[in-house]
């Protein structure tokens, strides 16, 4: 497959090399030629030092043939414009843009683009790690609106039904691990202290569940 990457900062350079390692054809554009120093020396894909908002440049880079495009500059405006152009004019089937400043996230959402909001996502992950030992994040969907968390069953919930977990609004059990064996959630499962439950939840939902777990452990 042929992928076009716009922006050769740390993210763009890492992405380009990862795709190249998977034997994909890759072209990466940046208006600063010095930015290509971020690329791994083993990268052998194409590089173009040029104005990324120039349609002529994008055409020379192969936007018309690209099967995927990532706009990952540190300018949200550039990413949004390039992403919108790639999707609506060149009909690239898979377009992903980087959100650099959380204040500009609505701009990407207005264009209906797939967005990776690394700043907001990273801050949320660090916040949870700092003061939420209960409820470790194991998977994040979208930009963290819904995530899968791993929670331990306290002794106070011994023998209760799995619906105890879903009593918290915004929480749905995904799997239960008991004695090393993972099980799909069913109504007849009875919780045992020390079981691990994977829970799909919103941020509000997991906060409610964490409070309930904390209260149960205090009893």
Q: Quick one: CATH architecture of 123-218?
A: 2-Layer Sandwich (3.30)
> Which of 93-97, 135-139, 155-159, 202-206 is predicted least confidently?
135-139
pLDDT value for 98: 93
SS3 state at 133: coil
Residue with token string 């009875």? 190
Contacts of 46 (CB under 8 A, 6+ apart): 26, 27, 28, 61
What is the distance between the terminal CA atoms of the chain, rounded to a whole angstrom? 57
Q: How many CB atoms lie within 10 A of CB 34?
A: 9
Domain limits, CATH 3.40.50.720, in the chain: 2-116
pTM: 0.67
For domain 2-116, give the CATH number: 3.40.50.720
Q: What digits encode the pLDDT tens for the residues 13-49?
A: 999 999 999 999 999 999 998 999 999 999 999 999 9
Q: How many CB atoms lie within 10 A of CB 46?
A: 16
Rounded-to-5 percentages of helix, strand, coil across the chain: 40, 25, 35
Domain limits, CATH 3.30.70.1450, in the chain: 123-218
């Amino acid at each position: 497959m042929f992928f076009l990457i716009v922006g050769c900062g740390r993210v763009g350079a890492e992405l380009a090399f990862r795709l190249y390692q998977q034997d994909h054809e890759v072209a990466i554009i940046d208006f600063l030629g010095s930015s290509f120093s971020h690329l791994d020396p083993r990268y052998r894909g194409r590089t173009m030092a040029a104005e990324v908002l120039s349609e002529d440049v994008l055409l020379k880079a192969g936007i018309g043939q690209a099967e995927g495009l990532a706009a990952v500059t540190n300018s949200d405006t550039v990413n949004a414009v390039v992403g919108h152009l790639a999707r609506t004019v060149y009909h690239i089937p898979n377009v992903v843009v980087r959100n650099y400043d959380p204040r500009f996230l609505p701009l990407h959402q207005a264009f209906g683009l797939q967005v990776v909001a690394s700043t907001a996502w990273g801050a949320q992950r660090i916040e949870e790690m700092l003061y939420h030992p209960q409820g470790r994040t194991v998977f994040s969907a979208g930009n963290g609106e819904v995530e899968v968390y791993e929670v331990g069953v306290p002794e106070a919930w011994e023998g209760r039904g799995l619906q105890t977990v879903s009593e918290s609004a915004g929480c749905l059990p995904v799997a239960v691990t008991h004695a090393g064996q993972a099980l799909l959630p069913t109504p007849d499962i009875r919780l045992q202290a020390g079981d691990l439950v994977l829970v799909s939840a919103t941020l509000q939902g997991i906060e409610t569940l964490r409070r309930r777990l904390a209260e149960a452990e205090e009893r």
